[in-house]
Amino acid sequence: PLVWAVVPAAGQGTRFGGEVPKQYLHSAGKPLIEHALSALLAHPRVAGAMVALAANDARWPGWTSLHGKPVLCCVGGGERADSVLAALEALPADVPADALVLVHDAARPNLATADLDRLIDAATAHPDGAILGAPVRDTLKRAAVEGTIVTTEPRDGLWRAFTPQAFRRDALGNALRAARAAGVLVTDEAMAMERGGARPRLVEGREDNLKVTTPADLALADYLLSHRT
């Protein structure tokens, strides 16, 4: 199928703090959003990208193409899912309903080509789509409000969800609209699909595909991006 990228970049970076939203902070000489877009558009299967921006965003560099492919932008929404839905609805009319859409965080700059390959293959083969992720490695504790340990949770079968997350354009749009209509806050695209009964495939990816959430993450991203193998 045709593959398009959707990049939500309308967040304010509240947990990171500071003046500049984190997607525009530089790492290894380029803004995080440029690393994210380049990783997607450099892939031969990806035809173009739709970026969701905050309504008042004055920092968007105004790219219209990267790696010779179209980069389009639209206005995002108040929650991540609103931004993704806005981007889906803004895709060109000639992107078919069964096109694969790869949703990838603007603040996730270290996506490896091999992971993207495996994700696209899995989502092409699997009707309910696929996401990158990795099994949980740490021991998990349930905490009481005062910060003491209540219990240790079994981690068997638990995964961390990364991006990209790959679904058919119409299926994802329907799932996000249904979640919104029900007033359910979905924190990733797979969660919206799961609500509708879909069982997306988990594709184990590299754990260095990190999302920059805090200043410590940016330091780690800097190290990873300047020591890429």
Indicate the angle between helix axes 80-90 and 169-181, nearest 10 degrees.
Answer: 140
Strands of the sheet with 46-53, listed across from one edge:
65-66, 69-75, 46-53, 3-9, 100-103, 159-168, 130-135, 201-204
Least Å from the CB of residue 75 to ligand CTP: 10
CA dihedral 214→218→219→223, nearest 10 degrees, is 150
Site size for ligand CTP (CB under 6 A): 22
Report phi then psi at 40, rounded to 5: -75, -50
Residue 140 to residue 151: CA distance in whole angstroms: 9
Among 78, 147, 157, 183, interactor with ligand CTP by CB under 6 A: 78
**Residue that has been written with the tokens 């970026």 in this structure:** 51
Nearer residue to ligand CTP within complex by CB, 105 or 115: 105
Which one of 59, 211, 215, 220 is in contact with ligand CTP (CB under 6 A)?
Answer: 211
From ligand CTP, Mg ion, none, which one binds at residue 38 (CB under 5 to 8 Å depending on kind)? Answer: none
Give the H or E element holding residue 37. Answer: helix 32-41
Q: What does the alpha-carbon distance between residue 179 and residue 136 come to, in Å, rounded to a whole number?
A: 26
Q: Which does 176 bind (CB under 5 to 8 A by kind): ligand CTP, Mg ion, none?
A: none
What's at 13, amino acid-wise?
G
Q: Which does 203 bind (CB under 5 to 8 A by kind): ligand CTP, Mg ion, none?
A: none
Q: Which two tokens stand for residue 38?
A: 């380049």
Spell out, one character per residue from 134 to 173, where the chain touches Mg ion: x when CB under 5 A holds, - when not: ----------------------------------------
Q: Is 200 helix (H, G, I), strand (E, B) or coil?
A: coil
1-20 residues in contact with Mg ion (CB under 5 A) are 11
**Interface with ligand CTP, residue 14, by CB under 6 A:** yes
Binding partner selected for residue 162 from Mg ion, ligand CTP, none, CB under the kind-specific 5 to 8 Å limit: none
Site for ligand CTP in 80-109 (CB under 6 A): 80, 83, 105-107
Identify whether the C-beta of residue 141 lies closer than 8 Å to the C-beta of residue 44: no
Q: Which residues bind Mg ion (CB under 5 A)?
A: 11
Q: Which residues bind ligand CTP (CB under 6 A)?
A: 8-16, 23, 52, 76-80, 83, 105-107, 211, 213
